Amino acid sequence: MSFSPLLQQLINALRCLPGVGPKSAQRMALHLLERERDNARQLAGALLQAVEQIGECQQCRTLSETPVCDICSDSERDAGLVCVLESPVDLLAIEQSGGFQGVYFVLKGHLSPIDGIGPEDLGIPQLLDRIEQGGIRELILATNPTVEGEATAHYITGQIAREDIRITRIAHGVPVGGELEFVDGGTLAHALAGRRVINRDVS
């Protein structure tokens, strides 16, 4: 059975969505055509508007429809505390956790010489310029705890000449609410190595 050409085109197009395979795409296409034609039109409009108008923040490189994003232009945020992330998704995750009052710098990826992704593609020179200009007290490297993320954090650390900046890496360990039994070995090893004294003040 082949679908009609337009239906097949819609099914193929829906497969660009993450986590959508051939079966889900088919279900989505039929659902939209059967019951949600108005919403499908709205979705098309929202996609076009977002693609045309959302660019990146000049300062932190996250997705933004204004030249400087809301966070970078918020005077109540601590511009001396910069958290370096791999992706805008990570930025949202941290914002939603609600515990961070600094600003961000989004690399949009990690170093990957095999794929031809070097420091320039990640905006690292731009980050280093910002650091050179002064005003940053602490740089939190919150790249992913993967080989590539660690390598990227390591590279950035090596490039920073100023000695008045604290460079930190987010803690790796057992997730809060998780059970040790289900935590992988690498994480457990990190959690043990990164153990903290809790019965007296430590610096």
Give dist(CA 151, CA 90) in Å, integer: 18
The verdict on 60 binding a second copy (CB under 8 A) reads no
Q: Is 101 in the site for a second copy (CB under 8 A)?
A: no
Question: What's the angle, vertex CA 149, arms to CA 147 and CA 154, rounded to 5?
Answer: 95
Q: Which stretch binds a second copy (CB under 8 A): 60-68, 123-131, 183-191, 192-200?
A: 60-68
- Tokens linked to 123: 């905006």
Closest to a second copy by CB, 15 or 154: 15
Shortest CB 64 distance to a second copy, Å: 6
Q: Of the candidates 21, 22, 58, 66, which one interacts with a second copy according to CB under 8 A?
A: 66
Give φ, ψ of 88 to 5 degrees. -60, -25
Q: What are phi and psi of 89, to 5 degrees?
A: -65, -40
Helix or strand run (H / E) with residue 13: helix 5-14
Contact region for a second copy (CB under 8 A) — 23-31, 125-133, 169-177, 190-198? 23-31
HSE of 118 in the Cβ direction (CA atoms, 13 Å)? 3
Q: Which of 77, 79, 80, 108 binds a second copy (CB under 8 A)?
A: 108
Interface residue list for a second copy (CB under 8 A): 1, 3-7, 9-10, 12-14, 16-19, 24, 26-34, 36-37, 39-51, 53-54, 63-66, 69-70, 87-89, 92, 95-96, 98, 108
